[in-house]
Structure 1
Amino acid sequence: MTIASPTFNSKRIHSLDSIRGFALLGILIMNIQAFAMPEAAYLNPTAYGDFTGVNKVVWLVSHVFFDSKFMSLFSMLFGAGILLFCNNLVERGKKPLGIHYRRMFWLLLFGFIHAHLIWSGDVLFTYAMCGFILYSFYQRSIKTLWFVGISLLAIGWGLLEMTQFSLAYLSEEELTELNNDWSPTLEATHSKLAAMTGLWQEQFSLRTENAWLMQTVGFAYFGLWRVGGLMLIGMALFKQGLFTGAYSTKDHSSKILFYFLIGFGFTLYGLNFNIDNEWSLFHSQFRGYQFNYIGSVFVALGYAHCLALVIQQQWLSTAMIHLAYVGRMAFTNYIFQSVICTSIFYGFGLGLFGSVERWQQVVIVLIIWSVQIIGSKLWLTHFRFGPLEWVWRGLTYWRRPL
């Protein structure tokens, strides 16, 4: 009898690990804003904090090159990871259905705990839900994966457009309430600052309320379509051999140029649109976001081809090796980022929420990157798995990982 067990290191696709590490580190550039400032400042830079000089430059760079791009790349890699996971089980004569769902169940539980007890911006819950729903697609053709993936993304875009259209029919009271979320009043901002710099117990009700919203309405309105579509595209890319050296240098170069021209074109147009309309609710909250919604997918595809080309040509090999260590411990490193950042910004730690400017946030990000790059290599020099990866694998296979 064969017993299901984790994938051996010799069977790992190290390019996936490197790109995953790259994506995970890049995600923190945007997440740090959500840790350090009121939520409104994430999409509306005029809602809170200084938006001049170096702080404005930092926000502009992070928006153009990072906002939604690295999360999109990470979502694609998660889809590719599901495909690889299931294929490996099939190769070993195992039926992947039960093991996959057990794996997603534990990820769902980890995400639920993370969202309600540590940080409401969790994405693990959404990944697990999409993993439950989209499991059967790992056996589908490349053409089907691309078609359904793009269709899901289009549905998400359509919901944003419908919401934009509905703004004209909202009552004055409804518009005021919506605007208070987009550009909070001084009183609401002070209340948020007091809550986040208070005790953990004081933050719990606010955090769990936001977490429930993201895990229900947020998932149905946005997460399923966006993340689910990107996961299917990631499966298609894996089957096309993007992560296993199937593309030539010429193919990579042409696709990088194509994706970047479209992706950065949409993003920059949307940025100019929002600036021209002074970040108003009616123009920027939904319609202004849609340009980056589209552009970020193309930029993420460009990043994927860039990294695949770098790895294929063995450029920056030392950097790619270090990123692979980070990627192999992506679960642990993701939760570690939340623990460290909440300890810095929330009241149970240093209580710096709302008092750290955007350029200072980047300094914190660089320090965390250094710790995770060095720490991941040191840990994996002595252990086969990251600590949370070890727990997750043990629960998935119902056996102690060796």
Structure 2
Amino acid sequence: MRIHSIDAIRGLAILGILFLNITFHQNFYTGYAFFEEPLLSDDIISLVNALFLDGRFRSLFCLLFGAGLAIQFEHCQSRRYDFLTFAKSRLKWLFVFGLLHGVFIFGGDILLYYSICAFLILKNFSLSQGELKKKSLTYLVIGSVIMLVVGVVSAYFFDFGGELPLRASEVYSDEVAQWQSSYLFQIETQVTFQVISIIAAPFTMFWQSMGLMMFGAYLYRNGFFNQGFSSAAFIKIAAIAIVTSIATALPLMLIEQMTADVTPMLSSASAIFCALVYAHLLVKVKNTAAWWYQSLINCGKVAFTLYLTQSIAMAVLFRIVMPAYFPDFAFTVTLLDLLMITLAFTAIQIVLANVITKHFRQGPFEAIWRKLYLHSFYKKRSRENLAL
């Protein structure tokens, strides 16, 4: 039986992540370039992102990924399947999807990264609740310290004026021309980024992501997705989320042209507490029949399809349509423009999810993934049975 609150939280995460990714969807090579005269709308949107969005949806996805693995662990135990074999089959194909997605569509892919993190913690799902909680918190502390140190060093010891070119600069014009020059260059850029991301993972989000996955499993087994936190615990978590969010947003207000890769590092710890607040609130309204909550549930059921559809649609829009019909877009686009595009596509995704879930049991990419990993799993089981 599906847990609707998990689907709703996943739906929020999949819709929310585009609000952050769209700046790199519009140009993965340059990201968002600032104007020489900072726009008030850019400053406001950047501040809202830092306070409420940066890292929050990634944290939610990690928590839910761990909860999903815990559910699969129970499922395998009840059917006497080998959990490691089953989970590795799923993660292997998720890795393949992530690799193809990251190389050919969007270099900011997270599927490959999640599959690696999950693969490394699979054996921990047999731990007791106490051991699982202790290990997850250890990973979270280590990961948060690493992210904070790297973020602070990056924020205060690098010249941000020279870190990214300004919108009207010749350097930016050259980079835009280079990014739009050929699909082959885009692939090369995305491959390079994927390789660097994997190499740098132990010094960025790696430990924190694994800790969040294990903590998500702990929360699931503790009944969190059915009842949420106690009132006292929620008040403490919400207070920490507010204080840390404000504290980590200060560098954004004090340092001009903060780069998009630094802000998530500074906000990574606050993102965990904010994610827990968002999850708790959605758990508490799980019995509502409101259309918006049911829509979140439907989006969560087809999150894999929506995630890949986001990338495909954004690639078509920003790499084909805009350069061909609006060549000045890269030089005039603002964060407000990207926000409007995101809101419009969010509405499209909600409609798409409602249509798919009304007529089908799962989304098309979920169905393909399921068919592939089940085939691998049953094939491996057959070989093992023959060996016996």
The one-letter amino acid paired with 2:239 is: L
Written as runs of structure 1 = structure 2, the 5 A alignment for 1:3-402 is 11-37=1-27, 47=34, 51-160=38-147, 163=150, 180=162, 182-184=163-165, 186-217=169-200, 219-245=201-227, 247=228, 251-278=229-256, 291-311=266-286, 314-315=287-288, 317-346=290-319, 348-351=320-323, 352-353=329-330, 355-398=332-375
Amino acid at match of 1:196: W
- The one-letter code sitting in structure 2 at the alignment partner of 1:207 is Q
Q: Deviations over 1:221-273 (max 9, x none)?
A: 2232121111111111111111123x4xxx54433332222112112122223
In structure 2, C-alpha distance between the alignment counterparts of 1:322 and 1:164, rounded to whole Å: 36
Q: Secondary structure at the match of 1:122?
A: coil
Helix, strand or coil for the counterpart of 1:300?
A: helix
Secondary structure, in 3 states, of the residue corresponding to 1:138? helix
> How many angstroms apart in 2 are the aligned matches of 1:228 and 1:157?
12
**Rounded Cα–Cα distance in structure 2 between residues aligned with 1:158 and 1:40:** 28
- After superposition, the C-alpha distances for 1:98-117 in whole angstroms (9 at most, x for unaligned) are 11101100000110111111
- Distance change (3 Å), C-alpha of 1:39 and 1:255: farther
2:267 is paired with a residue whose SS is helix
The answer as to whether partners of 1:41 and 1:48 remain within 8 angstroms in 2 is no
Q: 1:49, 1:142 → 2: CA distance?
A: 53
Aligned equivalent of 1:6: none
Query: Shift of residue 167 of structure 1?
Result: 7.6
Distance 1:382 1:280, change over 3 A: closer
Q: Which runs of 5+ in 2 are unaligned?
A: 324-328, 378-388
RMSD of equivalent CA atoms: 2.9
CA distance in structure 2 between the partners assigned to 1:330 and 1:13 by the alignment: 15
1:322 deviates by 1.3
Higher deviation after alignment, 199-208 or 364-373:
199-208
- Contact 1:153–1:230 (CA<8 Å) still a contact in 2? yes
Residue 393 of structure 1, CA deviation: 0.6
Q: Which deviates further from its counterpart, 152-161 or 71-80? A: 152-161
Alignment check: 8 A CA contact 2:62 2:216 kept: yes
Q: Distance in 2 between matches of 1:109 and 1:277?
A: 39
Distance in 1 (alpha carbons) for counterparts of 2:186 and 2:161:
23
Q: TM-score, normalised by structure 1?
A: 0.83
Give the 3-state SS of the residue equivalent to 2:115 in structure 1.
helix
TM-score by length of 2: 0.86
1:134 Cα offset (Å): 0.6
Cα distance change of structure 1 residues 349 and 146 upon mapping to structure 2, 3 Å threshold: farther
Q: How far does the alpha carbon of each residue in 1:169-214 deviate from its partner, in whole angstroms, 9 at most, with x for none?
A: x9xxxx67x975x334734422321133333223222222112211
Please give the secondary structure, in 1, of the residue aligned with 2:123. helix
Paired residue type of 2:185 = E
Matched AA of 2:268: Y
* 1:15 partner letter: S
Residue 82 of structure 1 deviates from its aligned partner by 0.9
- Once residues 224 and 160 of structure 1 are traced to their aligned partners in structure 2, the CA distance between those partners, rounded to angstroms, is 10
Kindly tell me the number of residue pairs found equivalent between the two proteins.
370
Q: Is the 8 A contact 2:151 2:265 kept in 1?
A: no
Determine if contact 1:342/1:349 at 8 Å carries over to the other structure.
no
State whether residues 29 and 365 of structure 1, in contact with CA within 8 Å, keep that contact through their aligned partners in structure 2: yes
Q: How far 1:369 sits from its partner (Å)?
A: 1.3
Q: In the alignment, is the contact (CA less than 8 A) between 1:40 and 1:47 conserved in 2?
A: no
In structure 2, the CA distance between the partners of 1:151 and 1:179, relative to structure 1 (3 Å rule), is farther
